[in-house]
Structure 1
């Protein structure tokens, strides 16, 4: 898989310049930008400001807030000069994305207070594509980006949005800028960077739909894996994630996570939920670990961390784990992670009402 990267940022910016350069002699200051409350000029300045801000977050490794600086254009900068500024800030973001090591995250407020280099690249591309549309609409210019750019934004930042018949109209609809047949208009929206949950020795890294597709098809999901990885269970879970995404029912925080080891940055397994919590606040957890990483407590560490994260939420009251009766190592993992064997009544209910297979041992952990 080729993750979204600095080349995508450069292509998006080149598309903006190509679309808007024919109108540099127009009055951007007194022309509204599409459906926005801003003028075309203010919108273009906003693009430049966002691009340099995202570059600054990555370069400065900001963890608690935005790096406290902003961009100010020289007095008298015309529209052509502003496009040059956007080209420059776009290159700065592209360079920051290229030079930031894998796994590094910096502050971004929504929704989990951080983003990785792919997230910042995707946000930069989103800002450029969407605001090029706004400005072009205000100026009466034609603009439609390449499908792969729009699809990258959707699969990296909008995992909760069901894909539509084509990426660009879907992205416009998802951001309140257009309509899709059979779907209600969007009046409030946010993109979603992936969730990460750190532990002492691991980072549980949320898998995005783009990476899940690659894993399902036999790729590495953009990760460096320990020998033998990814395990088949991770690929199967990635396939379920893609199906949920395509059906429009994917809840990213209750999806699939890879276990990335701090000491060498390698992925050593997968963990995740079988779906979102049901109406009773029940959610089931599953995991796998590559053979070369077993026997060192990684699975217990990951199961404990993900379970405690889930139980801290208001919509989760009970976490379940099903283990084969002869899989004693896995039974020890969940026990060390705070789970207990289900009662006879709990097991009967799980089999009758929740399709838990016979022959499996049921373990539970409550709030």
Structure 2
């Protein structure tokens, strides 16, 4: 899975233009895009509208929808419309390239905002999917590069199990096709990564594409203090990717990088050990790089993620398991509002949840 950048936006725009240029002599108003109530012309203009919206929100760090739109002069032909798609795509690519790392702007799916990589991925998705709709309506062959499609899945569809081929999987995930062994999709969305404010930190959700890079020894596109993430972060990233490949990953209950607000550098990681169980219970683990310890960062991160979880309807209890000799981590849990579990609670955890005998259980409830 590639990183998402202005390069990928340009590649998607080039593929879109190359496909649609083969039908410039057709009447795009007279034919509906496949699966849509829009004409092929309206759908093509929608691609340019999305590029414009994404570029302006990201460039302006918008916190809400902007009162901004574009129009086509009367008499604009298909070639002119295609130029508009290419020009607005270039604007989005430029906005992605110039946005600082970690900057976010409004987008409703799924957690209210997106970073530059998210806007790039959404632009690519809009171009590839709506070119598909137009191409089917006009009877054109449309097969985007598999690597580009795989990246869209890894950045925007963390809840979708990868299929044998990326393009049929993306079409299925967006209600545009069938996939053997999977039920038809009638209602769909994509996910940008969740971010949770945590005092001096921002807990930045790790996408499958980022987890893949981290588990392979990369930085995940983050600027880590001390030369790189903790080994635990790499291990949790491998577990996240395994869950993604199995189709059981829930992005809101995944892993997060602890990013320091003052300089944008990552100082550690925090993660859920999975989605809530039948008892509405989740477990959290965390790690902090040596150069960031002793500053209260772990306490702020644990408190913020715990309070985010307990504010949900599907979580009543958050637990943390800590080694008996890890006194600093035990103090972190206590400062974050956790209480040491009772003897009976620990006994139950050892029998029902395989809590290791060398671990102590800390609990916080709603």
TM-score range, shorter chain: over 0.9
Q: CA deviation at 1:67?
A: 1.4
Q: CA deviation at 1:111?
A: 1.3
d(CA) in 1 for partners of 2:205, 2:255: 6
Asked whether the 8 Å contact 1:60–1:67 carries over to 2, the reply is no
- Aligned residue pairs: how many? 366
The superposition leaves residues 123-154 of structure 1 with CA deviations (integer Å, 9 ceiling, x where unpaired) of: 00000000000000000000100011101110
Q: State the partner residue of 1:53.
A: 53
Alignment of 1:83-122 (within 5 A): 83-122=82-121
Query: Structure 1 stretches (4+) deviating beyond 4 angstroms?
Result: none
Q: CA deviation at 1:2?
A: 5.5
Alignment of 1:196-345 (within 5 A): 196-345=195-344
For structure 2, the residue ranges without an aligned partner over 5 or more in a row are none
Alignment of 1:130-209 (within 5 A): 130-209=129-208
TM-score for the superposition, normalised by structure 2: 0.99
The superposition leaves residues 76-133 of structure 1 with CA deviations (integer Å, 9 ceiling, x where unpaired) of: 0001100000000000000000000001000001211100000000000000000000
Secondary structure in structure 2 of the residue aligned to 1:227: helix
Q: CA deviation at 1:315?
A: 0.3
Secondary structure in structure 1 of the residue aligned to 2:337: coil
Asked whether the 8 Å contact 1:33–1:40 carries over to 2, the reply is yes
d(CA) in 1 for partners of 2:328, 2:152: 41
For structure 1, the residue ranges without an aligned partner over 5 or more in a row are none
Secondary structure in structure 1 of the residue aligned to 2:226: coil
d(CA) in 2 for partners of 1:247, 1:31: 40
Q: State the partner residue of 1:26.
A: 26
Asked whether the 8 Å contact 2:270–2:287 carries over to 1, the reply is yes
TM-score for the superposition, normalised by structure 1: 0.99
Secondary structure in structure 2 of the residue aligned to 1:41: helix
What is the root-mean-square deviation in Å for CA atoms of aligned residues? 0.8
Asked whether the 8 Å contact 1:340–1:365 carries over to 2, the reply is yes
Secondary structure in structure 1 of the residue aligned to 2:225: coil
Q: CA deviation at 1:228?
A: 3.9
The superposition leaves residues 199-218 of structure 1 with CA deviations (integer Å, 9 ceiling, x where unpaired) of: 22101000000000010011
d(CA) in 2 for partners of 1:346, 1:30: 68
The superposition leaves residues 265-288 of structure 1 with CA deviations (integer Å, 9 ceiling, x where unpaired) of: 110000010000001000000000
Q: State the partner residue of 2:6.
A: 6
d(CA) in 2 for partners of 1:172, 1:18: 20
